[in-house]
Amino acid sequence: MNWLVEFPELGRGDLRDLRKGIDEGFKNFTRTYGESIEGFFDPLLQFLIGLEKLLLAMPWPVFIALVCVLGWLASRSVKIVIGTAISFFLIGFLGMWEDTMSTVSIIMVSTMVCIGLGLPIGILMSRSDRAQAVVTPILDVMQTIPSFVYLIPVVMMLGIGKVPGLISVVIYALPPMIRLTNLGIRLVDKEVLEAADAFGASAWQKLWQVQVPLALPNIFAGVNQTIMMSLAMVVIASMIGVTGLGQPVLKAISNQYLAMGLLNGLAIVALAIIFDRISQSYGKRLQSYRGGHNE
């Protein structure tokens, strides 16, 4: 009856060999393809570096003015614009301008990558139940696996730096973009789709004239979630060499610098609130047509 009490586990040696085998295999893979993979991501790296340099070179009043104009165009809310200006001014005043610019640039790039990947994958998922059945469990894994775990292979393959940081941010922030695009398109009114069919719309016309426009509020909620999750990932990504507000936080943790940690943490919160409010009110304005009588 021993087998009932003791779990029939793999022998110690076998287990070690298994792990070793996987590690060796991956190391060999990295040695063979590491460089070409790095080369593949090089344009992204150059873009990220360029953007960061641009933001840092930009005089601070210009940057604040630019963000305020964008904020106004997107939200049409004076409150949000004033809040944005004050937050950025305080961030700069408290000596966190450069780190903030680095963070903003990586958030921008990761959001662009997430939209670029998430939109087509989401559309594909919405059009085929089979694609949905394949992608959904992958998204579940991406969202639940502890982020430290996928840092390991990323670092093994690409070392420490901006690109592996960006990749880990994207892995973490991509799922809501895909999910909400898929959901938004699937929720489009069947009767409107029938009308599009009745007027002889092709699949392509239906997608761009009906499905995507009507799914936009949901797609935009996905963009908002993606930005929020990228910001949340900034501190963890700083462990593998991403510059920005995450690094001082990390330093503060290991040295117990309370004020430093708090200030940089609050700067991240401020960025999150600004991005969230602007993108949410833009998302709401996208739906203004749903309102009733307002002549």
Partner 1 sequence: MSDFETKIEIRHLYKIFGETPGLMMEKVREGISKDQLNDEFNHVLGLHDINMKIPEKGIQVVMGLSGSGKSTLIRHINRLIEPTAGEILVDGENVMDMGPDALKNFRRNRASMVFQKFALLPHRTVLENTQYGLEIQGISEKDSNKRARHWIERVGLSGYEENYPAQLSGGMQQRVGLARALATDADILLMDEAFSALDPLIRTDMQNILLDLQQELHKTIVFITHDLEEALRIGDQIAILRDGKVVQQGTPERIVLKPKDDYIADFTKDINRGRVIKLKTIMSTPNDQAGPELSGDMLVEDAAQLVTESPSSQARVVDADGAVVGCVTIQDLIRAMARPDIESRLEEL
- Cβ proximity of 244 and 99 under 8 Å: yes
Q: Which of 233, 229, 123, 237 is nearest to 178 (CA)?
A: 123
Q: How far is the CB of 35 from partner 1 (least distance, A)?
A: 47
116 lines the binding site for partner 1 (CB under 8 A): no
Q: Which of 179, 173, 191, 200 is nearest to 123 (CA)?
A: 179
Element (H, E) at 60: helix 60-75
Q: How far is the CB of 188 from partner 1 (least distance, A)?
A: 10
Phi and psi, residue 291, nearest 5°: -65, 160
290 lines the binding site for partner 1 (CB under 8 A): yes
200 lines the binding site for partner 1 (CB under 8 A): yes
Rg of the chain over CA atoms, in angstroms?
23
Counting beta carbons within 10 angstroms of the beta carbon of residue 130, is it exposed (0 to 12), middle (13 to 18) or buried (19 or more)?
exposed
Nearer to partner 1, 95 or 213 (CB): 213
Q: How far is the CB of 219 from partner 1 (least distance, A)?
A: 13
214 lines the binding site for partner 1 (CB under 8 A): yes
**CA dihedral sign, ordered 206, 211, 213, 219:** negative
210 lines the binding site for partner 1 (CB under 8 A): yes
12 lines the binding site for partner 1 (CB under 8 A): no
Instruction: Tell me how far apart the alpha carbons of residues 246 and 227 are, in angstroms, rounded to a whole number.
Output: 15
**CA dihedral sign, ordered 76, 119, 236, 155:** negative
130 lines the binding site for partner 1 (CB under 8 A): no
Piece of 78-86, 143-151, 204-212, 261-269 that binds partner 1 (CB under 8 A): 204-212
Nearer to partner 1, 129 or 191 (CB): 191
284 lines the binding site for partner 1 (CB under 8 A): no
Nearer to partner 1, 7 or 199 (CB): 199
197 lines the binding site for partner 1 (CB under 8 A): yes
- Cβ proximity of 27 and 156 under 8 Å: yes
Cβ neighbours, 10 Å, residue 229 = 21
Residue among 140, 209, 253, 284 that touches partner 1 (CB under 8 A): 209
- Number of residues binding to partner 1, judged by CB under 8 A: 24
Binding to partner 1, residues 216-245 (CB under 8 A)? 216
128 lines the binding site for partner 1 (CB under 8 A): no
Residue among 2, 36, 144, 202 that touches partner 1 (CB under 8 A): 202
The residues binding partner 1 (CB under 8 A) are: 189, 191-192, 194-195, 197-202, 205, 209-210, 213-214, 216, 289-295
